[in-house]
Amino acid sequence: MLHTVPHGDINYGELAQLGLTPDDIIDFSANSNPFGPHPTVLEAIRAAVTVPKLRHYPDRDCLELRQAIALTEDIDPRFILPTNGANELIQLVALAFIKPGSRHLILSPTFGEYERAIRVMGGHVQPYFATGSYYRHDIAHVVSVIRQTQPATVWLCNPNNPTGQYLTPAELAELRASAQEETLWVIDESYQYFSGFEESLGRRAIAHHHNENIIVMRSLTKEHGLAGLRLGFAIATPERIEQLRVAQPAWSVNSLAQVAGVAALQPEVQAEQRRNIRQLLAYASTWWAELIATGLRVLPTSTSYTLIETGPAARTRQALLESRLLVRDCSSFGLPNHIRVAAQLPEQNRQLIEALNRIGKTDKGLT
């Protein structure tokens, strides 16, 4: 039986039932850039709200956006496919490449959409739950699983959601060497700029060695604070891009998202957002230390988000929501005693510490 995937972020119906609006809460549950979209991007969107722009269909080929992405990635535009968020791309990869009855490995705990997309296409999912400390993968063990099972595809998120763990280039190379040559590697780098490591592990293999068996997934919604607009892209060889394009509905990247993407990728805009995210990572590391000092079990992370072991997570989430603070209950990741929190601005981060302390004292959520 297939189910929709639970996500963090705002549940509009739940808030309405509580008599709240999104403006009433602080959202620690979505891992994105709390500084929001850059003013240049907002201005570009405003300027694009014209009758011709809205009346006509968007450019199906996203020519200008593709070109802008290709320039920032230093790659030929034929290697790029813009999508309606990285989430559309996950579905396209499954539509294009998952055959009924085939076997697929997902390095877990991780984003739930991979499993759903594979199962919708009739593929068999073999989740491989991390066995190392802090849900880091024991590479030797993953290698042995790949050798034994020889999956048709391997899905991994780097840095990972929800753990914030990062696989190094050497670790990824070791994993890839253990698989058959035709295994397709689906590497989700949606949080690439939210860790101290900005290197793309797949891009080089695709750009320089034309490796057919890697698809890199990127999101522009997180880094540029554009989750409501939806924008992501694939990096893969032109042959793979063409297969993904066949699976993609026409016009799925709307005109305003295309305009926003082009504005966001201007070098000075991009540089400023990267500075903001580096600032966010600095806020995050101060915050982890403060949270740990209150006695909480905060797991090490390479990103601006992390797991905290609080005891029953659904209860902790509910209790925090009463204080108008939203966190991710990680039960759907297979971590029912953990919440995931993403750093916000320092004043907001302090409010979560205070609320967690209050809850701890009244035993509403923390065990």
Ligand X SMILES: Cc1ncc(COP(=O)(O)O)c(C=O)c1O
Q: Which residues bind ligand X (CB under 6 A)?
A: 85-87, 111, 157, 161, 188, 190, 219, 221, 227, 232
SS (H, E, C) the chain: CCCCCCCCCCCHHHHHHCCCCHHHCEECCCCCCCCCCCHHHHHHHHHHCCHHHHHCCCCCCCHHHHHHHHHHHCCCHHHEEEECHHHHHHHHHHHHHCCCCCEEEEEECCCCHHHHHHHHCCCEEEEEECCCHHHCCCHHHHHHHHHHHCCCEEEEECCCCCCCCCCCHHHHHHHHHCCCCCCEEEEECCCHHHECCCCCCCHHHHHHHCCCCEEEEEECCCCCCCCCCCCEEEECCHHHHHHHHHHCCCCCCCHHHHHHHHHHCCHHHHHHHHHHHHHHHHHHHHHHHHHHHCCCEECCCCECEEEEECCCHHHHHHHHHHCCEECEEHHHHCCCCEEEEECCCHHHHHHHHHHHHHHHHHCCCCC
Nearer to ligand X, 221 or 344 (CB): 221
Smallest gap from Cβ 4 to ligand X, in A, equals: 14
Residue 290: CB minimum distance to ligand X, A = 25
In the complex, the smallest distance separating the C-beta of residue 9 from ligand X, rounded to whole angstroms, is 7
CB of 86 to ligand X, least distance (A): 4
When the beta carbons of 79 and 111 are compared against ligand X, the nearer one is: 111
- The smaller minimum CB distance to ligand X, of residues 190 and 255, is found at 190
Question: Which residue is nearest to ligand X, using beta carbons?
Answer: 85
Shortest Å distance, C-beta 29 to ligand X: 10
Our CB check for ligand X shows the closer of 139 and 227 to be: 227
Q: Closer CB to ligand X, residue 330 or residue 355? A: 330
